[in-house]
Amino acid sequence: MSDIERIDAKQVKELRDKTGAGMMDCKRALEGAEGDTEKAVRILREKGLARVKQRDERETEQGIIEAYLHIGRQIGALVELNCETDFVARNDEFLELAHLVALQIAACNPLYQDRESVPGDVVDSKKEIYRELCVADGKPEKEHDSIIDEMLEKYYQEVCLLEQPFVKDPSESVGELLTQTSAKVGEKLAIRRFSRFQVGEKQE
């Protein structure tokens, strides 16, 4: 008996619980993966990402504002998470995502939403500092640009919300978490704005 013939309802259900994809999509993915669950997950993820890209031009005018207060109530965060319909705004997956993003903001203090939001003068200043470090460390000049690019990537991961490693699972970024949830709920999702507050911090 082939691996495809051995695919049963239990395996399909387990894949559905793991990915949130439809039963038929899970069955087809398992068939395409010849019964290999991890490969099926990758197939579903690729299909989900493709659907998400198709939704990029849609409007996200519904959603919620989620608040998170850290233990001790010394640190808090607010985030506006948007979707396409009020139906999805009440979806458990969507609500959980909003909570996790607010927690991320409180824990990791992002300064910008994504790398495109970082002001050009900030990027230029960072490049100048990194180039000076290359010189101080005696790095060959021909390697400076690649080293600077690597250091900029690390900087973006530190200060950009969508590029930060997710605090509960650093193997994926917040942006990847957003994309995965978008694929599960079937709508475009977007973080519109956020703020973080800490007792006693000075306002610039």
- DSSP H/E element including 194: strand 190-198
Both tokens of residue 88? 């999805």
* N-term to C-term CA, the chain: 68
At 95-127, the pLDDT tens digits run: 999 999 999 999 999 999 999 999 999 999 999
What's residue 19's pLDDT? 64
At 33-60, the pLDDT tens digits run: 888 888 887 777 766 654 555 555 566 7
Domain ranges of the chain: 9-54, 62-113+160-198, 119-158
Distances in whole angstroms, Cα of residue 21 to Cα of each of 45, 63, 78, 181: 9, 22, 30, 11
What's residue 58's pLDDT? 61
Structural fold of domain 62-113+160-198: Tetrahydropterin Synthase; Chain A (3.30.479)
Is the pTM higher than 0.85? no
Give the residue, 80 or 71, on which the prediction is more confident. Answer: 80
Both tokens of residue 53? 């890209």
